[in-house]
C-alpha cells in the first residue's frame, strides 16, 4: 500500500472524508490505492470510482456489493469536488468526460 504519505489522492481522500463511516473510508481508500495515481487527484478518484462500480456490476447483486456501490458514489462525487477545487472552469468538461468516456460496461 502506498498510503497517504506517498499517494496524494489517498491523502486528499482521507482529509475530505473525515467523519464518514470507517468501513466506507477504508473501502474507498483501497480503490484509490489500487489505481495508478499519475493523472492527478480528480482523475485518480474518478478511475477509482469507476473500478468500484465495475466491481459492483460484476458482483452478482448480493448485499456484499453495497459497500462497493457506496464507495463508487463517494469516489465519483469526490472526484468532481477535487476538480472543482483545482480547476473550477474545467468542471463541466470533466463531468462530461466522466459521463461520456467513463461509461462502465460489464
pLDDT in tens, 56-86: 988 877 787 999 999 999 999 999 999 999 9
Q: Confidence class of residue 26 from pLDDT cuts 50, 70 and 90? A: very high
pLDDT at 53 over 80: yes
Whole-number Å distance between alpha carbons of 78 and 55? 19
Whole-number Å distance between alpha carbons of 26 and 20? 10
pLDDT at 105: 46
pLDDT at 1 over 70: no
Domain boundaries, the chain: 3-101
Site of grid cell 485518480: 44
Q: Count CB neighbours of 68 within 10 A.
A: 22
pLDDT at 7 over 90: no
Amino acid at each position: 500500500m502506498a498510503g497517504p504519505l506517498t499517494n496524494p489522492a489517498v491523502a486528499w481522500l482521507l482529509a475530505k472524508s473525515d467523519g464518514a463511516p470507517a468501513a466506507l473510508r477504508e473501502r474507498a481508500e483501497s480503490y484509490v490505492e489500487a489505481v495508478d495515481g499519475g493523472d492527478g487527484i480528480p482523475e485518480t478518484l474518478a478511475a477509482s470510482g469507476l473500478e468500484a462500480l465495475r466491481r459492483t456490476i460484476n458482483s452478482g447483486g448480493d448485499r456484499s456489493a453495497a459497500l462497493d456501490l457506496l464507495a463508487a458514489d463517494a469516489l465519483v462525487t469526490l472526484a468532481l469536488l477535487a476538480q472543482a477545487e483545482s480547476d473550477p472552469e474545467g468542471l463541466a468538461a470533466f463531468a462530461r468526460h466522466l459521463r461520456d468516456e467513463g461509461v462502465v460496461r460489464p
